[in-house]
Structure 1
Amino acid sequence: MEPAESAGELYVSYKPLLFSLAYRMLGSVMDAEDIVQEAFLYVNETKLDHVQNMKSYLCKLVTHRCIDRLRSASKQREVYVGPWLPEPLIADRDPDGEPSRSYLHKESLSTAYLLLLQQLSWTERAVFLLREVLQYEYDEIADIVGKSSTNCRQIFHRAKRAVSGLPDPRDGQPSAAPPARGGPHPSQEQTGDLIERFVQALTTGNVGKLLDILSADAVLYSDGGGKVTAAVRPVQSAERISRFFEGLMAKLPEAFSYRMADVNGQPGIVCYSGKQPVNVISFHIREDRVHGIYIVVNPDKLKHVL
Structure 2
Amino acid sequence: MSDHVTDTATETFVAHRNLLFTVAYEMLGSAADAEDVLQETWLRWVKVDLGQVRDPRAYLVRITTRQSLNRLRSMSRRKEVYVGPWLPEPLLTAPDVAEDVELAESVSMAMMLVLETLSPTERAVFVLREVFDVSYDEIAAAVDKTPAAVRQIAHRARRHVDARRPREVVPSGKIRAALESFQRAFESRDLQGLMDVLAPEVVLVSDGGGVKQAALRPISGAAKVIRFIVGGTGKAEGTLTSDPTVVNGNPALVLRLDGEVDGIMAIRVEDARITGLYYVRNPEKLTRVASETPLTLR
TM-score normalised by length of structure 1: 0.86
Correspondence for 2:230: 246
CA distance in 2, matches of 1:48, 1:247: 59
CA distance in 1, matches of 2:207, 2:181: 24
Aligned-partner residue type, residue 178 of structure 1: P
Q: Does 1:148 align with 2:162?
A: no
Deviations 1:202-261 (A, max 9, x none): 112213311000110111011112122111011111111111121123223434333211
Q: Give the superposition deviation at 1:49.
A: 2.4
Greater mean alpha carbon deviation, residues 289-298 or residues 84-93: 84-93
Structure 1 segment 1-306 matched on structure 2, within 5 A: 6-92=8-94, 105-166=103-164, 177-179=165-167, 185-306=169-290
CA distance in 2, matches of 1:252, 1:92: 30
Q: Give the superposition deviation at 1:45.
A: 4.8
TM-score normalised by length of structure 2: 0.89
CA distance in 2, matches of 1:228, 1:268: 20
Deviations 1:94-138 (A, max 9, x none): xxxx97xx7962101111111111121111111111110001111
Greater mean alpha carbon deviation, residues 5-14 or residues 55-64: 5-14
**Residue 231 of structure 1 aligns to a residue in which SS?**
coil
The runs of at least 4 aligned residues of structure 1 exceeding 6 Å deviation read: 2-5
CA distance in 2, matches of 1:87, 1:104: 20
**Residue 86 of structure 2 aligns to a residue in which SS?**
coil
Indicate the percent of aligned positions where both proteins have the same amino acid: 39
Greater mean alpha carbon deviation, residues 130-139 or residues 266-275: 266-275
- The structure with more helix, counted as a fraction of residues: 2
Correspondence for 2:295: none
Q: Give the superposition deviation at 1:27.
A: 0.4
CA distance in 1, matches of 2:10, 2:101: 20
Q: CA RMSD in A?
A: 2.5
CA distance in 1, matches of 2:101, 2:273: 27
CA distance in 1, matches of 2:116, 2:17: 23
Number of equivalences: 287
1:257–1:273 CA contact under 8 A, matched in 2: yes
**Residue 192 of structure 1 aligns to a residue in which SS?**
helix
CA distance in 2, matches of 1:260, 1:130: 31
Greater mean alpha carbon deviation, residues 34-43 or residues 124-133: 34-43
CA distance in 2, matches of 1:270, 1:209: 20
Structure 1, unaligned runs of 5 or more: 167-176
Structure 2, unaligned runs of 5 or more: 291-298
1:110–1:266 CA contact under 8 A, matched in 2: yes
Aligned-partner residue type, residue 13 of structure 1: A
Correspondence for 1:169: none
1:17–1:103 CA contact under 8 A, matched in 2: no
